[in-house]
Structure formats: structure tokens, C-alpha cells
Amino acid sequence: MTLHGYYRSSAAYRVRIALNLKGLDYDQVPVNLAAGAQCEEGFRALNPQGLVPVLETDDGERLTQSLSICEYLDERYPALPALLPADVAGRARVRGLAQLVASEMHPLNNLRVLKYLVGELKLDEAAKLAWYRHWVAEGFTALEAMLESEQTGRCCHGDTPTLADICLVPQVYNAERFDCDLSAYPCLRAIAEHCRGLPAFAQASPERQADAR
């Protein structure tokens, strides 16, 4: 398989974690978002949205959207570890936690939004950071409350990493990169710290992608 992504893209980071958890081999093709490579004709042919990641599978499929890719991997390679719980309610809870991050928080703070704020709306750096930190606080405040549950363990749902942890860790990484104050979120910080110590998460970290930038 081939993963087209960017080392600091939280969406591509999610897919790297999922691939690693499943123990799957894959090649990486860097798409330099900072340089605008996602807008080039060659990449648009892979994904008309001009977004990463794109996963080219061994079956010749070209898959987009990180959560869809992760669920594809879980269904295509059902051997443990599963990325979703076995029970219906557990799967719904994990999907809800994951979508809070991937569908509510991330879209407001991704690169193209930040560039629009600065380029088109002429916000200065302080205003851009205020925007970023506001939406991180909104999302993480809700997520922290949802994680204060007996269903939460060392990970977001029990003690085994799921799709929720796959989404959480990259979002915490980005929040730290933008100097967001995370002191009010002890539960999610503890989960992120635990997961970062697991090989699949550690190997997927942006700092470990020196050959894929």
C-alpha cells in the first residue's frame, strides 16, 4: 500500500497509526502541504479535494478521508487489534469521540482554514492563534467531559487503542504545537501520554517521518 500524506497532517497521522496498529507494511509519498503540492494537477488527479491522506491499496483502490480509511483497514484486515469495539454501543461511543475531533475540531483549524484567515481575512498572527486556541478549548472541554466515564480506561474506551485514540493523539500534538493550554484536560492528556508510549503511535509521530517530508 502507498500512503500519500504530509508528516504534520493530523489526518495522515491518524492513518499511519491505524496502519501501524494493524501491522501493515506501506510506502509513503510526501505531499508538501506548506509548499502547496496538494493543489498541483498530479495530486488533484488522486484526490479532487486536494487533501491528504490518500491511500492506494494493494487492490488498486484510492481511498480518501482518514476515518473512512481507518474503517476500511479494520474491515479489510479484521485480525486483532480491532479499531472499533465488538459491541454496538461501544462502536457508537468510539465513533462519537473520534468524530468530535475529526469532524468538529480539526476542520476549523486545519491549514487551509488558517491560511484563509491570514490571507483573505487579513487576521494577524495573534488573532489566528486566538481562533485556533478557542476551537481547541471548545472541543477538548466537551471531550474531557465525555471521557470522565467508567468506560474510559488507559485509552478512550477501555485499555485498548481504538479509532478514538487514533484521532485524539494527533489533535493533542497539534494543540501542543500551537501552545494551547491543556491543563484543564487531565484525562485526555493522560490517555495521549499512554498512547504515545505504544510503538504503533510512536512510529507514526511526525518526528519519525524524516524520509516522508
Are 43 and 100 contained in the same domain?
no
Q: pLDDT by residue (tens digit) across 66-76?
A: 999 999 999 99
Q: Tens digit of pLDDT for each residue in 111-122? A: 999 999 999 999
Same structural domain, 67 and 130: no
Q: Could you give the number of structural domains in the chain?
A: 2
Same domain, 24 and 124: no
User: What integer best gives the mean pLDDT of the chain?
Assistant: 96
pTM for the complete prediction? 0.96
96 and 193 fall within a common domain: yes
- Assess whether 92 and 53 both reside in one domain: no
| Higher-confidence position of 80 and 63 | 63
Structural domain range at position 205: 2-81+201-212
Of all residues in the chain, the percent with pLDDT exceeding 90 is 95
**Pair 93, 156 in one domain:** yes
For residue 211, is pLDDT > 80? Answer: no
Of all residues in the chain, the percent with pLDDT exceeding 70 is: 99
User: Where in 13-163 does DSSP place strands (E)?
Assistant: 27-30, 54-56, 62-64
The pLDDT, as a whole number, for residue 80 is 83
pLDDT of 79 > 90? The answer is no
Per-residue pLDDT averaged across 125-142, rounded?
Answer: 98
- In this structure, the answer to whether residues 150 and 174 fall within a common structural domain is yes
Q: What is the pLDDT of residue 213?
A: 66
CATH number of the domain within which 43 lies: 3.40.30.10
Residue 210 has pLDDT above 90, yes or no: no
User: Is residue 178 very low, low, confident or very high in pLDDT (cuts 50, 70, 90)?
Assistant: very high
187 in the same domain as 121: yes
The CATH number covering residue 129 comes to 1.20.1050.10
Same domain, 69 and 171: no
**pLDDT range class, residue 212, cuts 50, 70, 90:** low
Alpha helices by DSSP H, listed for the chain, are 10-21, 41-46, 66-76, 88-99, 106-109, 111-119, 125-147, 163-177, 186-196, 199-204
Q: Virtual CA dihedral for 142, 13, 112, 92, nearest 10 degrees?
A: -40
User: DSSP label at 180?
Assistant: -
DSSP designation for 82: P
**127 with 186, same domain?**
yes
Express each pLDDT in 24-43 by its tens digit.
999 999 999 989 999 999 99
Same domain, 48 and 113: no
Query: Are residues 69 and 95 both part of a single domain?
Result: no
